[in-house]
Every structure is written in C-alpha cells, then in structure tokens.
Amino acid sequence: SQQGEEDPQALSIQEGENATMNCSYKTSINNLQWYRQNSGRGLVHLILIRSNEREKHSGRLRVTLDTSKKSSSLLITASRAADTASYFCATDPPGSGNNRKLIWGLGTSLAVNP
Amino acid sequence: DGGITQSPKYLFRKEGQNVTLSCEQNLNHDAMYWYRQDPGQGLRLIYYSQIVNDFQKGDIAEGYSVSREKKESFPLTVTSAQKNPTAFYLCATKGGSGNQPQHFGDGTRLSIL
C-alpha cells in the first residue's frame, strides 16, 4: 500500500537553483529512505535517515526528518541538469522484522533546465 | 546497480502466454524483492523472499509466481492469469539486518503483443 506522499508531484527549476521535495507518511518508522530514478532505469539509493536522526547530508543532498509531523524533506543544492529524475521516499515501519517491506511514495518528478 | 542483473531489458508477451523475468545478484544479499511500476506511479510489491526456498506474497501477487532455489536468483513468472501485465518490473535486494537500503536492478519492460 502506498502511504508516503511526495510533494510536489512535479518540479521544474533552472540549473544552479535549489530543489526541495517533501515526503509525508502515516505510520511510525524505523527509518526513511530517499531514492532517485532516471527515466527507464532502476532506483538508486540516496540517503537513509533513522527515526532518531533529524538531519543527514551527502554531497549536495540534505535530508531532514520530523517524526512529530511525520514528514521529511530532501534538498538538492546547486542543481544540475543531471539531477533531472524522479525522486521517491520510502518508509520502513517497525514490526516488519527482517522482511523489511518498505512503503513507497508516488514520487516527485524533477526537471532541471540548463 | 552493477550487482543486480535483470534480463531481458524488454519483453513481449502474447495472449495466454507465461513469461519469466530473470533477476540475478552477486551481492550475497539474503532478501530479494519484485516490484511493479506503472507509468507515473510508485512501486508496488509483488513478492519478496528473505531466504532460499522461502517467499511471501506482496500487495499484488495475483497472476504472478516466483521461486527462490538459489540465493543468487529470484525469477518472476508473469502468468496468463495476469490480465494487465504491461508495466516496468524492478528487482531489488537487501543485505544485512536493520537499517539498510535496497539495491535495484535496471528493470524489465514488459508489453503485450
């Protein structure tokens, strides 16, 4: 079942600008994960943030997590045309054990214009 | 993801035909997953397997079957009972326990002839 919701559904920006995508979810979580998908390709993991963490960085990516609001944001700074892709959040709910059935959002489609 | 190979990249199915999608991994991961992705949509879980010779249904298992005879391989069969099989199919793996991400293959696009 899809419980994550990304916002906005689509985002178009100019190269060099920052891009912010949001993810809201409904259940408690062990962690929240962000993935990127280029057109016609598989997903690539970007960042995993645990429920007891509030912020993580990886290069030009910054992820925040607010468990009280059940929301997360992904910030891409100084965007490049190569960042054009769909971005998905996935939540890992407690109680799923080692099977780890992630709950996926519907994604944000980002277009970075040169 | 270099450690997960999905084949073929494109597949066409005739009416009444079963087709099998291959997923092979060399990451030594225990857990493997099959997802279906429709245009502009997120991922829906078809089947998953934690260990060899064991697998569980996901959210949309009807019309699909799997096997897990080897740790490295998790093939998905799309049967004739699946009336709307046209979609992008993604295989994923996960290693270790606890807070680990999934790793994905490059997908198979299945279409109806």
Chain B residues close to A31, C-beta within 8 Å: 99
Does B99 contact A30 at a Cβ distance shorter than 8 Å? Answer: yes
CA angle at A27 for the pair A23 and A32, rounded to the nearest 5°: 45
Per-residue pLDDT, B33: 97
Average pLDDT on A16-28 reads 95
pLDDT at B72 over 90: yes
Query: Rounded to the nearest 5°, which phi and psi values hold at B38?
Result: -95, 160
CA angle at A87 for the pair A17 and B41, rounded to the nearest 5°: 135
pLDDT cut 70: percent of chain B above it: 98
Residue pLDDT, tens place only, A27-86 = 899 999 999 999 999 999 999 999 999 999 999 999 999 999 999 999 999 999 999 999
Interface test with chain B among A1, A102, A103, by most B beta carbons within 10 Å: A102
Average pLDDT on B64-85 reads 96
At residue B25 the predicted structure's pLDDT band, cuts being 50, 70 and 90, is: very high
Q: Parallel, antiparallel, or unpaired for β A108-113 and A10-14?
A: parallel
3-state SS, residue A82: helix
Length in residues, chain B: 113
